[in-house]
Structure 1
Amino acid sequence: MSAVRGVAQAASKLRIGIIGAGGNTKLHHIPKLQAIPGVEVVAIANRTAESAAKAGEPFGITKATGNWRDIIDDTAIDAVVIGTWPYLHRTLVLEAFRAGKHVLTEARLAMNAAEARELYQESLRHPHLVTQVVPSPITFRYDATIQDIIRQGTLGDLIYVEVKGLSGTFADPEGSKLTWRTDMRYSGLNIGVMGIFYEPLQRWLGEALSVSAKAKFVVKVRTDGETGEPVAVRIPDHIDILADLAIGAQAHFVFSSVIGAVPGQLKGYTLYGKEGTLHLDLDAGKLLLGLKSEGGHLKEVSIESEKSGAWRVEEEFVGAIRGTEKIQRTTFEQGVRYMEFTEAVTRSFQSGCTVRLPLVS
């Protein structure tokens, strides 16, 4: 972004349009954008004008439409927040670029790696426009502390990383309804919470170099909520992934929405090094460290207040538009890397083969 444009944006009111007012948009994006001085959320587009009006009512937003083009084509709108499911991300981002609008889009960035690469390459052709993907927030509080521990070499060379994302609930009965997360038509190759958990690992350790995955389809048929017809499920509800990380460690991920009565932690990370083990228990909200030099006993790590991260997605987006900061979480380039991992997982369990990264398109 040029300095002149940044100053101009900072001096004038920033007008933002919403396309897709889902849960995250109503919980975070709209109220937190409205709390920023000089920012106005002027319009909402949803599937219907009625649902858009209903979403806008608690926030005093009266301009509502059932057509996303009304937002894109409104020359008074400077930026768009895309809160739709992934199936519309490519279309909406490209149209926003065409209309000269900044873009904040919900994760995941796209349906697959090819779409993600296309959006990133197109963003490079519009360097004056700010682009951001809503980041995975599950480790914000711990990120800086974990990065410090790794950077200082406290754990020594990493050997093994374990990642768990379990629902702790038994499988739904056959015939339960499809949701967008279980419907490949809307979510693409994104599998449950996999991307939400992989993204923080990228922040700490960098990329995976190879992926080998096995998947299970426990609930094989679900009901289409619109037609009432049975639909074969194409997104697995249980998956195990082995990966080699560029940092030198081997990683094991397990994600499941179909196993209940789990005797232990449901969600978290464990990093095993030659000199220590770091364990993040997301269920209990604790970061634990066990050092070889201290007998290997896990002790809770205190999170210093100045290093405790928090959600500030909307502030970062507006700050980048105004030229006062750069997008850190999450850039389109980072979004491409996690979409390549996502696609590699699908390619692996479908083929039964190990898939190397980065992908060869």
Structure 2
Amino acid sequence: MNDSEPVRLGFIGAGGICEQRHLPNLAKMPGVELVAVCNRSPESSRRVQEKWGFARTADDWRQIIEANDVDAVFIGTWPYLHCELSLAALAADKHVFCQARMCMDWAEACQMVAAAGSHPEQVTMVCPSPFRVRWERTIRELLASERFGRLLSVAVNSMTAANRDPHQISWRERRELSGLNILQVGIYAETLNAWCGDYLSLTATTTTPLQKFDAQRRPVEIQIPQTVAITGTLGGGVLSTEFHTGLAAEYERAEIVLCGSAATCRVDLLAQQVELFPAASSSKTGEVIDSVGDEWQVEAEFLAAVRSA
């Protein structure tokens, strides 16, 4: 594909992150043509079409996969369709951008990786962790510096109220829609592995203590844990501890703490900054070493890869 040709996109699923991040960014880019969208209902498809300027809507996702005027497919559905849609798009010689969470389970992930390997001429991309992308350069530089020293341990604290309402059950709490994905475990795992190396071992304890009810106030079994405690080792034998819960009332936390031989670093995802606490300092207040990070370029990187394919 030469630079003068537009990259023609079809969207299957266009809620949540697609409208918050992907579509606004794509709308600013030259050489992008929004060809077709298929959402959960004809009404929501038309709303997305009118808001973002898609040329048409589709009543069935297969119409987008099979369309001759679509070069790449953005998959923004819930995870239960990610594998099926990705395999179908690759089989139809389409480039694929798949929203995280990647899929339902390990078996589906293996199918997707194998399919991507069988279509090396097609670009495949899973949406990365936004805070991994934003702070990765800063953290990598810090971990390689004498200022931080040798990495000794890592701690994650992820606390929200996302699961706290007993009368609200989101798709993230329904295994038939979300698969084996649990809270924000995956997005932090991706980030830790990118920054600190792969897990060498893992142990987890899970619990689901809050009873939930449907619209008729009947008890509903929630199969996805509401709280998870994880311990493990990363590359080099570095100990990692993680606490994830969706039951925190008025006490949201989102942070990664890296302890080094010369300093401790805290990545505060709510305050959107990276702080450093030198071991030799008597101050209890950390030094903010980055409050900007790197700009989100994910959509641009995907389009550049498609043009180069």
- Tell me the TM-score normalised to structure 2 length: 0.93
Deviation at 1:207, TM superposition (A): 1.1
Deviation at 1:297, TM superposition (A): 4.9
- Provide closer, same or farther for how the CA distance between residues 316 and 228 of structure 1 changes in structure 2, counting only shifts above 3 A: farther
Where in structure 2 are the equivalents of 1:267-286 lying within 5 Å?
267-286=254-273
Contact 1:291/1:297 (CA < 8 Å) preserved in 2?
no
Find the partner of 2:202 among 198, 211, 219: 211
Structure 1 unaligned spans of 5+: 1-7, 325-361
Could you say what secondary structure the match of 1:57 adopts? helix
Deviation at 1:248, TM superposition (A): 2.1
Say if 2:221 is the partner of 1:235.
no
Tell me how far apart the structure 1 counterparts of residues 169 and 89 of structure 2 sit (CA, whole Å): 30
Could you say what secondary structure the match of 2:128 adopts? coil
Say if 2:61 is the partner of 1:68.
yes
Tell me how far apart the structure 2 counterparts of residues 277 and 290 of structure 1 sit (CA, whole Å): 5
Paired position in structure 2 for 1:35: 28
Paired position in structure 2 for 1:10: 3
Where in structure 2 are the equivalents of 1:282-297 lying within 5 Å?
282-295=269-282, 297=284
Find the partner of 1:56 among 49, 54, 70: 49
Say if 2:235 is the partner of 1:246.
yes
Aligned amino acid, residue 19 of structure 1? I
Tell me how far apart the structure 1 counterparts of residues 181 and 2 of structure 2 sit (CA, whole Å): 35
- Provide closer, same or farther for how the CA distance between residues 161 and 296 of structure 1 changes in structure 2, counting only shifts above 3 A: farther
Could you say what secondary structure the match of 2:200 adopts? strand
Deviation at 1:11, TM superposition (A): 3.5
Contact 2:12/2:39 (CA < 8 Å) preserved in 1?
yes
- Provide closer, same or farther for how the CA distance between residues 130 and 246 of structure 1 changes in structure 2, counting only shifts above 3 A: same
- Provide closer, same or farther for how the CA distance between residues 34 and 284 of structure 1 changes in structure 2, counting only shifts above 3 A: closer
Tell me how far apart the structure 1 counterparts of residues 137 and 281 of structure 2 sit (CA, whole Å): 23
Instruction: Give runs of ≥4 in structure 1 deviating > 4 Å.
Output: 227-230, 295-298
- Provide closer, same or farther for how the CA distance between residues 95 and 230 of structure 1 changes in structure 2, counting only shifts above 3 A: farther
Tell me how far apart the structure 2 counterparts of residues 74 and 168 of structure 1 sit (CA, whole Å): 42
> Once structures 1 and 2 are overlaid, which stretch shifts more, 91-100 or 10-19?
10-19
Tell me how far apart the structure 2 counterparts of residues 33 and 197 of structure 1 sit (CA, whole Å): 26
Say if 2:172 is the partner of 1:181.
yes
Where in structure 2 are the equivalents of 1:92-107 lying within 5 Å?
92-107=85-100
Deviation at 1:311, TM superposition (A): 1.5
Tell me how far apart the structure 1 counterparts of residues 93 and 114 of structure 2 sit (CA, whole Å): 16
| Backbone CA RMSD of aligned residues | 2.2
- Provide closer, same or farther for how the CA distance between residues 229 and 93 of structure 1 changes in structure 2, counting only shifts above 3 A: farther
Deviation at 1:9, TM superposition (A): 4.3
Deviation at 1:229, TM superposition (A): 6.2
Aligned amino acid, residue 302 of structure 1? I
Tell me how far apart the structure 1 counterparts of residues 91 and 47 of structure 2 sit (CA, whole Å): 29
> Once structures 1 and 2 are overlaid, which stretch shifts more, 77-86 or 245-254?
245-254
- Provide closer, same or farther for how the CA distance between residues 11 and 166 of structure 1 changes in structure 2, counting only shifts above 3 A: same
Deviation at 1:261, TM superposition (A): 4.4
> Once structures 1 and 2 are overlaid, which stretch shifts more, 246-255 or 101-110?
246-255
Tell me how far apart the structure 2 counterparts of residues 26 and 9 of structure 1 sit (CA, whole Å): 28
Say if 2:77 is the partner of 1:84.
yes
- Provide closer, same or farther for how the CA distance between residues 17 and 132 of structure 1 changes in structure 2, counting only shifts above 3 A: same
Structure 2 unaligned spans of 5+: none
> Residue deviations 1:124-183, cap 9 Å, x none?
11111001111111344322111101022433222221101101578323xx23211111
Paired position in structure 2 for 1:194: 185
Structure with bigger RCO (C-alpha 8 Å, 6+ apart)? 1
- Tell me the TM-score normalised to structure 1 length: 0.80
Q: Identity of paired residues, percent?
A: 34
Could you say what secondary structure the match of 2:247 adopts? strand
Tell me how far apart the structure 1 counterparts of residues 280 and 24 of structure 2 sit (CA, whole Å): 48
Paired position in structure 2 for 1:337: none
Tell me how far apart the structure 1 counterparts of residues 117 and 158 of structure 2 sit (CA, whole Å): 34
Deviation at 1:14, TM superposition (A): 1.3
Where in structure 2 are the equivalents of 1:152-191 lying within 5 Å?
152-167=145-160, 171-173=164-166, 176-191=167-182
Find the partner of 2:288 among 296, 301, 314: 301
- Provide closer, same or farther for how the CA distance between residues 72 and 28 of structure 1 changes in structure 2, counting only shifts above 3 A: same
Could you say what secondary structure the match of 2:134 adopts? coil
Paired position in structure 2 for 1:357: none
Paired position in structure 2 for 1:340: none
- Provide closer, same or farther for how the CA distance between residues 171 and 47 of structure 1 changes in structure 2, counting only shifts above 3 A: closer
> Once structures 1 and 2 are overlaid, which stretch shifts more, 281-290 or 117-126?
281-290
Find the partner of 1:258 among 234, 247, 263: 247
Tell me how far apart the structure 2 counterparts of residues 130 and 139 of structure 1 sit (CA, whole Å): 21
Contact 1:53/1:65 (CA < 8 Å) preserved in 2?
no
